[in-house]
Amino acid sequence: MPTNPDTHSATALRGGEGEPLLLLHGGTSSWHCWDTVAPLLFEQHDVFAPTLPGHAGMIDVPGWPRPYTIAKATDWLEKAMDDAGFETAHIVGNSLGGWLAMELARRGRARSVVALSPAGAWSTTETRVPGIFRAMRRRQRLGAPLLPLVMRVPALRREAMRVVCEHGDRVTAEHAILAARNALQCTAIEDFPGIIATEYEPYGPLDLPVLIAWSGSDRILPYDRYAPNWRRYAPSATWRTLPDVGHVPMYDDPKLVADTILEWTALATATRAAG
Domain parsing of the chain, residue ranges: 12-123+201-274
Per-residue confidence (pLDDT) for residue 6, from 0 to 100 = 46
67: nearest Cα among 53, 81, 57, 56: 53
* Residues 124, 126, 132, 134, CA torsion sign: positive
Reported pTM: 0.94
How deeply is 273 buried, as exposed, middle or buried, from its count of CB atoms within 10 A (0-12, 13-18, 19+)?
Answer: exposed
Q: Which fold has domain 12-123+201-274?
A: Rossmann fold (3.40.50)
Choose among 216, 209, 212: nearest CA to 253: 216
- In order of 90, 242, 254, the CA distances from 263 in angstroms are 12, 14, 14
Is 252 in contact with 158 (CB distance < 8 Å)? no
Instruction: Please tell me the distance from the alpha carbon of residue 261 to that of residue 215, in angstroms, as a whole number.
Output: 14
Residue 146's pLDDT is: 86
Q: What is the dihedral of CA 165, 171, 174, 177, to 10 degrees?
A: 10
How big is the chain by its Cα radius of gyration, in Å? 17
Residue 65, pLDDT score: 79
Question: What local confidence, expressed as pLDDT, does residue 33 receive?
Answer: 97
One pLDDT digit (tens) per residue for the chain, 275 residues: 334 444 556 799 999 999 999 999 999 999 999 999 999 999 999 999 999 999 988 877 877 778 999 999 999 999 999 999 999 999 999 999 999 999 999 999 999 999 999 999 998 889 898 888 888 888 878 878 888 899 999 999 999 999 999 999 999 999 999 999 999 889 898 898 899 889 899 999 999 999 999 999 999 999 999 999 999 999 999 999 999 999 999 999 999 999 999 999 999 999 999 97
Contact 188, 204 (CB under 8 A): no
